[in-house]
Amino acid sequence: MGLREKLDELRQQGLKDVDNSEDLDRINDIRVRLLGKKGPIKEALRGMRELSADERPKIGQFANEIRDDLTKAIDKRREELEFAKINAQLEQETIDVTLPGSEVAQGQPHVIQQIIDELVDLFVGMGYEVAVGDEVEEDHYNFEMLNLPKDHPARDMQDTFYVTPEVLMRTQTSPMQARMLEKHDFSKGPLKMISPGKVYRRDTDDATHSHQFHQVEGMVIGKHITMADLKGTLEVVAQELFGDELQVRLRPSYFPFTEPSVEADITCFNCLGKGCAICKHTGWIEVLGAGMTHPNVLKMAGIDPEVYGGFAFGLGPDRFAMLKYGVEDIRDFYQNDVRFLTQFDQKG
């Protein structure tokens, strides 16, 4: 048998052995045995000395081809076996991915806080400053400075927790209007402020009344502030909170600290204006009170109403939350049942 035939036979046998090997150890053995220094190919090539000078390179090249073929076959087979081994291991490691994941403790902001933050961000984005006032106020700022003198009928409407004849739990966040008007430097431009916070009324708590609730009030006073600006602002607020497909309707109202005064209604988001129980079959839901700041309020704060003017508006986050989420009992906001608190976890 010639050298070439011998080599070819080695190749055939080697490829067969590789194909038949079933584990990685065996394939390693084959590699060492066939391609190692003492392997049959090296052994066979020792017979090259006996070949002619022009046969020699041909056989050498042939031997290299065989070595490459075998190496490729071994690598391929090893990959196959490794892959099979990993697959077997992975199959063993299979878990029930439908079991629940580990619990991650995450707290939620209170729903009223969420509404307040949303409004604050909206107005801060429009260049308003946030003015947070005290919850215990003076009669002077809570009422008198807002054009509500001692015998004003509107004082009956809002029953008040007095501490002394001069000190009370604020019934509205509006005292901040008066305080900010006194403080603001109008040479630096208009005053644009929003004032969120807790307020108190002397009420018996039930499903629709609470002695404690929240208000967000805003005010803009400058040289060129118009009622059209008020209308535009109220539309932005209503649409931000309830969606911009809803219409806004203004109608006359009365507040001692604004004139003209308006109430802003939005199309009922439940029935889209057709009429339902939520909107008391009117198709509209009252969401905001507002108006052009009364000249007396400006005068009392030492501001000339002939030169400066503007608007104020107020709304109740508690009422918003009740409307928006269908909360039927206002006490739910202040009793803090964890099943209530953890529902408002939507951040998207």
Partner 1 sequence: MKVSYKWLQEYLDIDINPTDLAEKIARTSVDINDVYSPSDGLKKLVVGHIESVEPHPDSDHLTLCQVDNGEETVQIVCGAPNVVAGKNVIVALPGARIGNNIKIKRSKMRGEISEGMLCALQEIGFSEKIAPKAYDEGIWFLPDDAKPGESVFPYLGMDDTIIDTDITPNRGDMFSMLGNVNDIAAFYGLKSHFKTLNVKENSTTSTADLIKVQIDDTNLAPTYKLRVINNIEIKDSPMWMQIRLWNAGIRPINNVVDVTNYILLKYGQPLHSFDYDKLPEKEIKVRFAKKDEAFTTLDEDERKLNEQDVVVTAGDKPAALAGTMGGLDTAISNETKNVALEAAIFNPTLIRKQARRHDLHSESSTRFERGINPETVETALNEAAELIAELGNGTVATGIVTGSEAAINEPKVEMKLARINHVLGTQMKMEDVTNIFDRLAFDYNVDGDTITVTVPARRWDVSIEADLLEEIARIYGYDNLPSTLPEQTSNIGALSLRQNLIRSSRHVLEGEGLNQAISYSLTTNDKAEQFQIENHGTPMLLDYPMSQDHIATRMSLISGLLNDIAYNIARKQKDVRLYEQGRIFTTDNDGIRPLEQEHIAGAMTGQLLNNNWHQENHSVDFYDLKGIVERYLENMSLSGTVTFVPSNERAELHPGRTANIKLDDQLIGFIGQVHPQIAKEYKIPETYVFELNLEAIIEAPKQGRHYDEISKYPSIKRDIALLLDDNTLNSDITAAINKKGGSYLVDVHLFDVYQGAHLPAHKKSLAYTLTYQDKNGTLTEDQVNESFDKVVSYLTAEFDTEIR
Residues in region 255-314 near partner 1 by CB under 8 A: 259-263, 280, 282, 292, 294-295, 309-310
Long-range (24+ apart) CB contacts under 8 A made by 271-278 are 273/247, 278/323
Using CB under 8 A, which of 162, 182, 183, 304 touches partner 1?
162
Dist CA 203 CA 9 (whole Å): 105
CB 4 within 8 A of CB 62: yes
CB 70 within 8 A of CB 64: no
In the complex, the smallest distance separating the C-beta of residue 90 from partner 1, rounded to whole angstroms, is 21
In the complex, the smallest distance separating the C-beta of residue 47 from partner 1, rounded to whole angstroms, is 58
Please choose which of partner 1, Zn ion, none residue 78 contacts, taking the beta carbon within 5 to 8 angstroms, the exact cut-off set by kind: none
Dist CA 233 CA 242 (whole Å): 14
137 is in an annotated binding site: no
3-state secondary structure of 9: helix
Using CB under 5 A, which of 112, 148, 268, 323 touches Zn ion?
268
**207 touching partner 1, by CB under 8 A:** no
In the complex, the smallest distance separating the C-beta of residue 163 from partner 1, rounded to whole angstroms, is 6
Dist CA 315 CA 171 (whole Å): 13
The contact mask relative to Zn ion for 273-292 (x = CB under 5 A, - = no) is ---x-xx-------------
**220 touching partner 1, by CB under 8 A:** yes
Which residues between 71 and 100 bind partner 1 (CB under 8 A)? 99-100
Quick one: 69 or 203, whose CB is closer to partner 1? 203
DSSP codes joined into one string, 164-178: ETTEEE-SSSTHHHH
Binding segment for partner 1 among 24-32, 40-48, 58-66, 228-236 (CB under 8 A)? 228-236
Using CB under 8 A, which of 113, 158, 239, 270 touches partner 1?
113
Report how many residues bind partner 1 under the rule CB under 8 A: 93
**247 touching Zn ion, by CB under 5 A:** no
Residue spans of beta strands (DSSP E) within the chain: 129-130, 136-138, 162-164, 167-169, 191-200, 212-222, 248-255, 258-267, 284-293, 309-315
The pairing of strands 129-130 and 191-200 is parallel
3-state secondary structure of 203: coil
Quick one: 181 or 268, whose CB is closer to Zn ion? 268
Using CB under 8 A, which of 81, 108, 144, 324 touches partner 1?
108
Pick out the residues of the known binding site for Mg(2+). 259
